[in-house]
Amino acid sequence: MRWPALARTTHKWLALIIAVQAVFWTLSGLYMSAVHIDIIHGDRLVKAVAPQPLALAGLVEPAHLAHMAPGLKSLRLDTQLGKPVYIVETTAGHDLFDARTGRALSPLGEADIRARAKALYAGEGDIVSLELLTKVPGEIKSRPAPIWRAEFEGAWRPTFYISPQTGELVARRHDLWRTYDFVWMFHIMDYENRTDVNNILLRVATWMALATSLTGAWLLLYSFRRRRRARRSVA
């Protein structure tokens, strides 16, 4: 086969394959550009609460918790539902304690999580679904289980994931985020975990796109040389 014919055939088939992925790249890129990343992160779903000073008088001494939380590594003072709490990290995980009485609060039950979710939510809708998950869903696959999922009324199905051990908001999700995650999968061509931006498929597509460009450039230069030769032969 002559080189021009081989280059033309290679260019045609590579361009056909890459064109399909290029459509996915373009459409996914348009969505990711059109929807602001702050909206995707869901910051607007969480109520902004100004930090309040905590009176240390009457609080349990942190050293007291060492007897109640074996393997204590660290702790911090926080406020939840207007009450001071200690979030404790141990070798076994995390726990929550009432900072005034020292009473263990974790794992939090449905009533506590419902109140916590409502206090965190910035919208006006009520909770339509509250469930303790023992298996982590794909949209928060890097988080530990068990975890509470609270879904609210309103556009785009706003959803909070709250730790039963600490009462902390672990993740917030909504349909715009879910769509972003879906198109991101096509954009980086990681159809399994949606996190690897240097996967083999993306690298193959990149090299194919480069080969398409190079063969196209070669064919363009070849066509110019062929025209010049044709003009010389006519002259």
CA dist 157 and 172 (Å) reads 11
User: Residue with structure tokens 């905590």?
Assistant: 54
pLDDT of residue 230: 56
Q: Where would I find the H helices in 35-103?
A: 37-41, 62-68
Q: CA end-to-end span of the chain, whole Å?
A: 30
Domain ranges for the chain: 18-42+182-228, 43-51+59-173
State yes or no: pLDDT of 9 exceeds 70.
yes
Percent with pLDDT over 70 in the chain:
94
Task: Let me know: does 219 contact 8? Beta carbons within 8 Å.
Answer: yes
User: Residue with structure tokens 């399994």?
Assistant: 192
CA dist 191 and 201 (Å) reads 10
CA dist 201 and 7 (Å) reads 23
Strands 127-133 and 93-98: unpaired
pLDDT of residue 193: 86
CA dist 108 and 113 (Å) reads 6
pLDDT tens digits, 26-84:
999 999 999 999 999 999 999 987 777 777 888 998 888 888 888 889 999 999 998 99
CA dist 147 and 162 (Å) reads 6
**Its pTM surpasses 0.85:** no
Average the pLDDT over 169-195 and give the result. Answer: 94
Q: Which of 3-7, 49-53, 150-154 has the lowest mean pLDDT?
A: 3-7
Task: Let me know: does 189 contact 202? Beta carbons within 8 Å.
Answer: yes
Report the helix count and the strand count for the chain, using DSSP H and E.
6, 7
Strands 127-133 and 169-173: unpaired
CA dist 33 and 230 (Å) reads 48
